Structure 1
Amino acid sequence: METARILIVEDEAIVAMVIKKRLLSLGYVVSGVAASGNEAITRVEGTYPDLILMDILLKGDMDGIEAAGIIKERFNVPIVFLTAHSDDKTLERAKQVDPYGYIIKPFTEKDLSATIEIALHRHRSDSEKAFS
């Protein structure tokens, strides 16, 4: 497992702290925590994380799916949705931004680690194909 820098986008401070603690215990680096879609975009510009864990329902004028679409368009950072919402409408919207994973809360450390590692591997593979 590589040491990846991960941005957490979660508007509930306690949940963000739990996710951060789990990531650190798994050996990842947390590049920052953002509580809104706009803040997530700003943090990506400033820290260029290797991966983003994005909640879908965020406070403010932009949800996680909208923020993911903007980030995908402007930056080459893989996004894994980490959310409690799995209804058909939300899943269809999420698929439109081609995420690298979708984890339903509550989740285990094993689920989190496996999804992150697969997302990072897929992103490296996609990037290598784009440049060859």
Structure 2
Amino acid sequence: MKFVKFAVAIVAFLAFQNLQAQSATAKWAPLNEYHELLSKTFHPAEGGNLTPIKNSHDALVQKSEALDVTTMPADLKTSKAVENIAVLQKLTKKLSELITNRAPDVEIMRTFQNVHDVFHRIEESCNHPNR
């Protein structure tokens, strides 16, 4: 019985955490659109399939450019988020340039991993501004 209660508590905690992680993207459409394309291209790349990002890098740049901090909801706007959005935009352009210039896949993936990590830092700083 204790195990069942513990399992239910863990599931509830994880569900709450998932809702928290989604709140920034739910509140700001451009961030959600960037995230959707990032997810569709990054997860295959983790498995070694870089074709989706190689076919969509220009669109990812466009979506990063749409992340205009002047239109960002006030409750998401933190100094860390603003700073990381600028970093994300630069890294996304760098990723696109690497793909355009046919850089080695390992270099593309390293930069793509950095893009992914910065995106999650943005989410974190929007959802938990005091951390």
Q: Tell me if both proteins adopt one fold, taking TM over 0.5 as the criterion.
A: no
Structure with greater proportional strand content: 1
Using CA pairs under 8 Å that are at least 6 residues apart, name the structure with larger relative contact order, 1 or 2: 2
Give the TM-score of the pair, scaled to structure 2. 0.33
Structure ranking higher in helix proportion: 2
Q: TM-score, normalised by structure 1?
A: 0.33
